[in-house]
Structures are given as C-alpha cells and as structure tokens.
Structure 1
C-alpha cells in the first residue's frame, strides 16, 4: 500500500472509530427513522409538506434519532441565518466528530466546511483570490465553449437525450477541471470521485469510502502540480505559498471545491432545465430576454435549493433558537430548502415565479461558510440555460418516468430524457 493510501485510510478509520465511540453507529445511518430523514426527502421538486408544517409550528424542532445525542432541525429563514452566521455560538470543527486527539493527527475530509476560524479563515484566504470576479472572468470563454460542445453532443444523439449525462454533469466537471488545473483527459475519473457521496441509502461508511478515494486521487493531482505548477487554482496556491500548504491539506481544499461545485451545479442545471420544460412561460422568457436571466437564476436557486441541509453545527454553549433551548454540544442542522420556502421572504414561496425579484436566499449558505464558489456557479447557470433553450427551442420531455433521489443531502434527478428535434 502506498503512502497516500495509508494516510487516507488512516483518516477514514479514525473518523469512523471516533464517531462510533461518541455514540454514532455510522453503519446504520441508512436505517434512520422516517421522521429524521424528512428534511432530506422531496415530492418532485418540492420539499415534503411536513417540512413546511414543522417550520410554521416550530422553526427549531427536535429530531428523534437513536444515537443518544440531541439533534435539532432549524427550518425558519431568520432562525437559519442566525445559526449559519453564528460563528461564536456554533462550531463546524471536524474535532466534534473525531475528537480533539483524532483531529490533531488527521485532516478534515470536508475542507472549509469542517473548519472554524482561525483555521477556516487561513484556508479561505488561500482560495479567495481564485474566486474573485476578476479571476473568474478568465473562465468565461472556456465556460461558453464547454456549453457549446455539450450542445453539439446532444444534437448528435439519435433519439432521446439524457440531459443529465450529456449536459448537466459534464459542464461543471469540465469547468472545475479547468479551475483546478486538472488535465482534460482525466475528466472521467474526476467525475467519478464526486458522485455517490450524498445518498444515505448507501450508508455513511460508503460515503466515507468515497471521500477516501477522492482524497487519494486528488493527492495524486496535487503531487503532479507540486512538481510542475500550472496556472489553475492548485498551481497558483503552490506558487504563492509553497510548502506552507501540505499536500493533504491542499487535496482537502480541492476536494471541497470538487464536491461543492460539481454535483450541486449539475443538479441545478438538470432540475432548472426541468422547470423550463414544465413551464413554457419560463422557457420563453429565458429564450427571449437576456435581462430576465439574472433574476430567473436567482429564483431557481431559491426554489430548488439543491443543497437541502447545511454542514452540521455544534452548539458551543447553552442557547435558544426561537424560544427552544439548545444545550452545549447539541447538533444543529439547518434546512436550507425549508428556510428558502419561508413566507417571510415574500408571498407564494412554494411556487417558482420566473419574474420574481431576486431574494436573499440561502441556497449558497450564509456567513463565513457561505459557498466560496457561488459566483462561479451563477456564471455557469446564467450561460447554460439561455444557450440550451435557444439551441433547442422545441425541446421537450421524453415520455419516461423521472426518478429523483429518494434521500439525499444534494437533491437531484437521476436521468432527464428529452427530445431535442
């Protein structure tokens, strides 16, 4: 076994062992009761009705799970912002799961998502320069070229086209390959490592195994960049910071960019296209009016909120949320999909309105942990939707039943067969 495999295997084994000693039987996470899985279920494009009922009745509610810990679901918009922005009151630290000793000897598999300030601040500063609009603008021609290539590929298919496989998945994958500096020829491997990480029916141990494989693969990418730094994100960090950033730490950051920007954007591309296909008024609006695309994308981000639940927060001290007492050490889960349907954002939030003015939605989170790649995702969506409907103005759904993910942190549809002729 190589050094990389030993390091990654050690991280995963410690994660499992520490978490299980704290009372989490991760091998049985897929057996959680239905009530606990409710925030991760949907009916078509909409959160299950129970989520709205819980939000209106109790915006901070207890989740009954059999692992001997207190877990709270926050589904109200204002309450969600308070938790997400409460760095002093809540911790994201990986040590909450593996214990301080384990955390000191390993690295978080979640990059920024499992780090607190000042470590989070240090890591985010490494990435921030690559996600400014000035730096991202250099990707614009490449994004447009990638979209056109995928549209050409769709046009060449004889019969129904799976929009997920031919359009939604390749676009963000290739964009992130370019962003990180991953060679184009490795895109298939790159895609494989970001899938199957959020389907809880596979079990938490399977998800952790996927994290382990992804980190091992990215360690190889980092090693190549260390030898010959390119102009992508990894190469630039290595050029600017050298040995101040270790290989495993850099691989963890890259893994966070991969999982945060690939599957989420792919799900948005597919589900957003489904909205367009189901609503011809929206289809026509995006087809005809460039000025309407910005607000339409923001409304889709709010309405779909494909990342259903934010990274878990751990209460640093006894506190209250909407009059509910939260004890120090309790786990707090924020339902982003529930918060983005809260009526405090405006009227008729359960319906997608293509003409609605942009809202302060939480699709990218909030506070210091807000998604660093939000603007890149917006760039992809704003370019992809108009290009799709203008290239295929007669596009329509094929006569096939759609299969959505049943229980998933990142919501999506497995296939989206369309006719483009």
Structure 2
C-alpha cells in the first residue's frame, strides 16, 4: 500500500486507492488505540488516588502525611532511571525539550515509553500524559500497518502513525479538535502535506472520542478530560484588563524562560552517565516530595496540589480560587514550578498539563492583588504560560476557549494579547546569541 504515486499534483495521493484503504484503517485503529489511551489514563489516575488517598486512609490517616511521597518518588526515580538506561527508546522523549512531534517510535521502544510514563505520572512526578500518549498511539499504529503491509512506504507509515497519535489524545483536552490542533501546530505541517495527514487523523480522533465517551459512560469512570467544570463568570474585557494582559504576557514569558532553562541545566548532570542518572533521579524524586511537603505545611492545602500534572487539579483550582490566599498561590507557584523543573529533568512524560496549571495559578494570583477578574486572570495565565513553554500560540488560544467554554470566548481578546506578547518575547529570549566581532587594534606605525 502506497499513497505517494509519481505526480506533479500535490493532492494526487488523496485520489489513490491506498489512501482510501488508509482512511478505513485509521477508523478501525481509532477504536483499540482510544481504548488503550483510556486505560492508560485510568490506570495512572487510580494509582494516584490509591497511593495518596486510599492507602493512607486504610492505615488510619485522615490524609497523606507530609513524609508520605518521599519513599514512593524515590522508588519511582530508581525505576525510571533503570528504564531509560536499559530499555530501548530512552523511555520516551526528553520533556525538558518541550512538546515535539518526532518520528514514529519503533516497536521495541513502546514498552519502555509506557512503563516510564506510568511510573512517572502515576506515582507523582509533575509531568503530563500527552507526550507518551502521542508516542504510544503513533508507534502502535505504525506497528500494525507494518505488520499488515510490509511493503508500505515511509510516508504511508508516517500518516498512519499520525492518525494513531490523534486517536490516542482525542479527548484529553476536552475535545478531539484541541488534540488535533496541538499535533498539527507542533508538527509544522502545511499545504498539501497537512491535508494528507489531517483527514486520517481527524477520522481516528473522531472515532477515538466516541470510544472515550462510551467507555467513560459504560464503566462509570468518566473520560478524565481537562474541561473545567463550572468556570467563573466573565464580563466584557475592559481597557485596564488589556493592560494586565500585557503584564501577564511579559511575566509568563519570563517565568517560562526560567522554567525551561532550569530544567535544561538540571538535565545535564542527570544525563551525564548511567551512574549520575541512577543517583540523581531518585534524589530528584525526593526533592519533589520535599517541595510538596513544604507547600502543604506552609499553605494548609493538600500536598497533591504540587504533585502530579495538574490534569485533574486544574478545575478545582479555578473553581475554588477564593480558598487560595495570595500567600498560598505564591507558594504554589514556587513549589510546583520547581517541582516541574526537576521532573522534566529526570522523569518521563509531557510538559503541557503542568504549564496550564501553573498558568492558571499565576493568573489567579494577579487577580487577587490587582483586582483583575478571576475568569480573565485564569484564562490569560493559562494561554500565556502555555505559549511560553510550548511555543504553540494558536493551540494556547484554542485550549483556553475549549477549557473554559463560554467564559473563554468572552475573554478571548485578552487571551490573544497575552499569548501574543508571551510568544514573541519567548521566541526572542530563545534566539541563539551571535558572537559580536571585536575590531582588531590598528597596527602601530
């Protein structure tokens, strides 16, 4: 099966029989891949609940004591370090490099990617599930295609892998459209190539969304999507709020720069050798646990606010923002931000969800001290910090709209300004420095 016949028409592959077969295969693959993604998300969610709620309560604690995460995150660090060192695939891509859509993972890479992600996300590292799901969905789809058609060309395999990735994250962000948009912007595809990849991807995502909803209803477990329930009411933007959009855009660009540089600097000693990885990864796990304990002790809120990706914590944070004082939000930003840096340097997962959570916390903090509305502050913070950390401005604006619904539509002009400022400054900060030439001294006569 091939979709690349020799032709000058860039859309010629869409008219081939192989492309029709690929569309059918994408629809069929959407079912098991979405079911697998659903199982992955439920597994990590239940691991978190059992470790930090059910088990402590079974031992007689009202909630997990401050020391509780230390042994689990230390053990997780050891396991993840061993997976990265000894299993193929390096445990998945480095989250400190940002969200990137890379080539299709090989079949032997998938077990290591799966295990590293389950241990990292399920036990409490501040890391998200989106990057492993993209790799696992794409790799599994490509593996199936190669098994069914050994002579499939690389472009066909790549399109099938993209469709698998679409299916795997079809409703992770509350809508299959958000996941599809994320992958399209991150891949940098355009023109006819985008059309060729988009159709199988959207088809697989649509089928995957149906499977997510069906399994959530049938099992009673829900779909674990990121949609914020009962978002705060928003009013029409004011001139003053446009000024605060500029402030948030600049602040989130600086915060994003700090987080990325910190994670990349910490990654260097971790990845220097097998010995340093085996020593530093569990040490980083203990440090993340310590930050969670410090936050809980200082704020009176649960240590799980710092742990985990923030996927299930974003809606309670925004919905009950009045329960968080200025001091608690400052401490949350400091502790979760540091834990995020540490986790990206050593564990495996994706960078998206913690950026959304931290952005919401930053916006809520500004709304407390400046009189900015809760809805506008949270929305602008989510968009601006995700743009700074992911480098995907269009996706950042779309995510705010889908997460907050009508509230997001109302404050969209503010979000666009904050995202634009944050993205432009982030790109400027990331520009490689060119050495300035020093004029040579004039020869003496």
Same fold flag (TM > 0.5): no
| Structure 1 or 2: more strand by fraction | 1
| Structure 1 or 2: more helix by fraction | 2
Which structure has more RCO (C-alpha within 8 Å, separation ≥ 6)?
A: 1
TM-score, structure 1 as length reference: 0.33
**Bigger radius of gyration, 1 or 2?**
2
TM-score, structure 2 as length reference: 0.31
